[in-house]
Structure 1
Amino acid sequence: MRHKYGYNKLHKPTDQRIAMLKSLAVAVFRHNRVETTEARAKELRKMVDGIITLVKKGDLSSRRRVISLLLGDKDLVKQLYAGKERFGKRSSGYSRLIQAGQRRGDAAKMVLFELVDAAA
């Protein structure tokens, strides 16, 4: 049965949620690490793992899809495709969540979302 199988809506309309996740994904690929709430990071993990899988696939249609998922940043896409051997032997688990305590304002659980290197 597929009870409770889905995604977290993060209390946002669809267009805002997708835009937020795309901008977080761009930040992760630029800086290899981003600090965000636990709920956002769990949803971001799905998107980032999918993008890395598309990069490893390497054909033209996957490149165009990655460009659309990364807000049209072609320079970032070139960097990803140039360094795609970074995740070559790994079949999944491209990211990790590290607990970072609670946010001061509303006590939300904060995590560090970072990419796992191939050497680690």
Structure 2
Amino acid sequence: MRHKHGYRKLSRTSSHRKALLANLAICMIEREKIETTVPKAKELKRYMEKLITKAASGDLNSHRLVFASLQSKTATNKLVTEIAPKYAERNGGYTSIVRTRIRRGDATQMAYISFV
């Protein structure tokens, strides 16, 4: 049982899960809205909230911290210079999840995740 367990494993190894979340975050930063499964969206929400909080200060150290997680120069630059300053006075709640449809192939609940 997963009582008080800290995160969703998403049926992946830790390195695969880390790469998945980084890639989803990069896509979300570039497109500002993506469609994925609900469990992935919920984990991505936690991941993005932490990244935006780190990027909110906008200094060189925040650039480095965000780049260490994403490994994408364009996504890091866009997050630190364009997206994070919009939420500087906000205390969390930077993203929203909207459930959309049931996927036809495996009947999985899908959701849009976007910036507020």
Work out whether the TM-score is over 0.5: yes
Counterpart mapping for 1:57-72 below 5 A: 57-71=57-71
SS at match of 2:114: strand
CA contact (8 A) 2:28 2:34 kept: yes
Distance 2:58 2:113 in 1: 25
The aligned residue for residue 30 of structure 1 is 30
Residue identity matched to 2:94: Y
Unaligned runs of 5+ in 1: none
- The RMSD of aligned alpha carbons is 1.3
The aligned residue for residue 79 of structure 1 is 78
Query: Which 10-residue stretch deviates more, 46-55 or 84-93?
Result: 84-93
Query: TM (normalized to structure 1)?
Result: 0.87
Distance 1:100 1:29 in 2: 20
Could you report, residue by residue, the CA deviation over 1:20-76 in whole angstroms, capped at 9, with x for unpaired residues? Answer: 0100000000000110000011111111001100111333332212012112x2122
CA contact (8 A) 2:41 2:97 kept: yes
Distance 1:76 1:4 in 2: 32
The aligned residue for residue 105 of structure 1 is 105
**Number of matched residues?**
113
Unaligned runs of 5+ in 2: none
**58 and 85 in structure 1: CA distance in 2 versus 1, 3 angstrom threshold:** closer
SS at match of 1:11: coil
